[in-house]
Amino acid sequence: MLPPTHVYSLIIHNKTSKEMTVMVTYSNMIDNTLAQHSVVVAAGEKGVAEQRTFAWNGATFAVVITAVSVKDAQAALTAPFPGVDSPTSDYRITIVEESGTVHLKAGQP
């Protein structure tokens, strides 16, 4: 049996010249609910999508990140994320602009 390929938190690097709003979708696998949170990342800076947890039946569980997108752009990544072969925290994503189009690159410093 292989380990789950879950991502629990993100480090987001914005290599563009503009502030970007990143939408992060968290999925609760126990009760099949989704929650979307935004992370604003200034130009040339980094942002963090924190790990989130929930309590159920006396235990605490991590919520899994299942999608990442840039607001007002076509850039998006969905689980399973490239290069993830076991539960991962602080997964790195880089926002870049190439020929006027915004892209998300997974696993980039």
> What confidence score (pLDDT) does residue 1 get?
84
CA distance 55 to 75: 32
Residues present in the chain in total: 109
- pLDDT 10s digits, 15-46: 999 999 999 999 998 888 999 999 999 999 99
CA distance 109 to 98: 17
Using alpha carbons only, how large is the chain's radius of gyration in Å?
Answer: 14
Q: Check pLDDT > 60 for residue 109.
A: no
Average pLDDT for 92-102? 95
> What confidence score (pLDDT) does residue 29 get?
82
Q: Domains along the chain?
A: 10-106 (2.60.40)
CA distance 3 to 68: 22
CA distance 54 to 70: 26
CA distance 73 to 83: 23
